[in-house]
Structure formats: structure tokens, C-alpha cells
Amino acid sequence: MAKESTTIEVGEPSTVTKSTSHEKKKGFVAAAAGGGHKRGLAIFDFLLRLAAIGITIGASSVMFTAEETLPFFTQFLQFQAGYDDFPTFQFFVISIAIVASYLVLALPFSIVTIVRPLAVVPRLILLISDTVVLTLTTSAAAAAASIVYLAHNGNANTNWLPICQQFGDFCQTASTAVVAASISVVFFVLLIVISAIALKRH
């Protein structure tokens, strides 16, 4: 009786396994590299927000304290200039204070992007919110800058006399606040660029 020979074919599953493992490893390394890059952007974003908080609080506070009384009049007749004499400056103080409050509230989202650099939702929320707040900051700074310009130079066509020759300290304080708000506008532009880069898929 002839014995039947049994042939066992041995394939090469190890090659497939190694290839799959290698692809997974490459994907993990790529994800880690992307996460590290985005984490660096998130840290820079957080530091910019801290700086913007200081600048916006300073701008709003400085404009709020802008006030000067001319010293050469009696106590019954004095000329005084204050931020509340100009509705535009009042709008500036309120708007920049709102911006500063927003920046404080946005810090937790910025921290989340550091802990989870690949998360899309918090970064998208920051991008949209920063764009809206940038509009408010720009409008407040531009409106205040126009009044500061008229205070310094006046307008002969409308008989708007320059008041900074008399209220020099008041104009200097208001100008400082406007410059600080303009710097915060630049910071917001950088924050929006950072968010756009972080949302880009590699």
C-alpha cells in the first residue's frame, strides 16, 4: 500500500506582516512629527495670547485714565479733557476691554491645543473667534486713531482746531493707547495665521 505524501506549502506571511508593521510605524512617526510641529505652534499661540492680554488691558486702562485739566483757570472756570468727552474713546475703552476679556476666556482652548495638538475643533473655534475679535479691535483702534489725528492736526475745512497744543498730556496718553491697540491688531493677525497653519493637513 503506497503511502500518500502530504505536502505543506509554507507561504511568506512574514513579509506581509513586516510590510504592514513598517507602514504603521511610518504613519506613527509622521503623526508624531506633525503633532510636534503643531504643538510648537500651539505654544507660540499661547505666549502671543498672554502678550496680547497685557497689551489690551494696558490700552484700555491707559485710555480710561486719559484726562487733563488746564491749570491756569480758577476752580470755577476750568477747561478739562477726558476720554468720556469723546464717544469714540468710550467705544475704544469698552471694545478693547471686551477683547481683553475674550483673550482670557480663550486661554483654556489654547492650552487644549498644546495638550492635543492634532485636535481640530478647539483650533477651529479659536480661528473663527480671533477673526471676529480682530474686526472689533481694528474698528476701535481705527476710530480712536482718527480722533487722535484730528486732536493733533485739526481740520481747517470744518474749523476743527487742534487741541493737543493745550492738552498735550491728554493727547499723549490717548496716542499711547491707540498704538498699543494697533500692536494687538498685529498679534491677532499672527494668531489667525498660526491657526490656519495648524489646521492645514500634512
SS3 category, 200: coil
Statement: residue 201 has pLDDT above 90? no
Higher-confidence residue of 41 and 2: namely: 41
Segment 7-23 mean pLDDT: 48
The full DSSP string for 48-70 is HHHHHHHHHHHHHHHHHT-EEE-
Separation between Cα atoms, residue 161 and residue 26, nearest integer Å: 70
Q: What is the DSSP letter of 22?
A: H
Residue length of the chain: 202
pLDDT band at residue 145 under the 50/70/90 scheme? very high
- Whole-model pTM above 0.85? no
SS3 category, 24: helix
Q: Which residues of 55-78 are buried (b: 16+ CB within 10 A; e: fewer)?
A: bbbbbbebbbebebeeeeeeeeee
How many secondary structure helices (H) and strands (E) does the chain include?
4, 2
How many alpha carbons lie under 13 Å from residue 44 in its C-beta half-sphere?
Answer: 16
Segment 110-132 mean pLDDT: 93
pLDDT at 155: 81
| Tens-place pLDDT, residues 37-81 | 888 899 999 999 999 999 999 999 999 998 877 766 555 556 777
Separation between Cα atoms, residue 81 and residue 163, nearest integer Å: 9
| Tens-place pLDDT, residues 164-193 | 888 888 889 999 999 999 999 999 999 999
